[in-house]
Structure 1
């Protein structure tokens, strides 16, 4: 159990978890999440081993989506998931970005239906900000990477 301590330092008002508890938490987090760089790298593989699902509205999908993603709005997952997804293939789901929990709702809906699922951290916002190509209703698009969110002159952030 975490014990509250009195500290002027806001970081240490609640002390860090015990190393074993922290290791379990972070291992679990990695089982539930993937970042956009890892998803992009995985999609470049000959056999990615997963499918990407965009859980946003049609209007949002048309504005821009990950190439090769399946469009499956969250509200339609219970009715349509079996038509578009194979329960044997892991799913990586995304929505707009870190300020939106739509992907979390979609991941919950898919997990409830028996799918293996991860949430793509950063969503479409960070996909675009990191300079990965995307598709719109007008065709392919791509922006230069934002140097505040992506390494400059390399594909590897070192993490």
Structure 2
């Protein structure tokens, strides 16, 4: 049983990330992380994670992702816990051969953790405290 549990948690960490880890990855020089907003264009224009690329999950195909490098790590996100656009985007991208991680809590938890957003309803960074699990 412990080896099954270990495999489960290793897989979970391989396919999910939190806002603190994503922010840290994006700050690294030469980062190979690309953030994908799987929500609608209107939602993206209203507010999104800085530097994110909007590819609504409903439109994802080999044609709409043409030119996206396969040697990058993609992180998909959506509004948050009540939305599954990030999961649908991740599934679509994996089916097309991309390496994908899903952002836990989406835009909601990104803002909650104090990180800035861009768009019509952009929010400035607040405390940007480190994640409580970092200690």
- TM-score w.r.t. structure 1 length? 0.77
Partner of 1:134: 117
The aligned runs of 1:1-159 (5 Å cut-off) are: 18-78=1-61, 79-83=63-67, 85-137=68-120, 140-142=122-124, 144=126, 154-159=129-134
SS of the residue 1:133 aligns to: coil
Counterpart CA distance in 1 for 2:97 and 2:10 is 21
Q: Note the C-alpha offset of 1:19.
A: 1.3
- Structure 2 runs not aligned, ≥5 long: none
Counterpart CA distance in 2 for 1:129 and 1:158 is 15
SS of the residue 2:32 aligns to: coil
- TM-score w.r.t. structure 2 length? 0.90
Root-mean-square deviation over aligned CA pairs: 1.7
Q: How many residues align?
A: 133
Contact 1:96/1:125 (CA < 8 Å) preserved in 2? yes
Q: Give the number of the structure with larger relative contact order, counting CA–CA contacts within 8 Å between residues 6 or more apart.
A: 2
Contact 2:76/2:89 (CA < 8 Å) preserved in 1? yes
Counterpart CA distance in 2 for 1:128 and 1:156 is 13
Q: Displaced runs of 4+ in structure 1, greater than 4 A? A: none
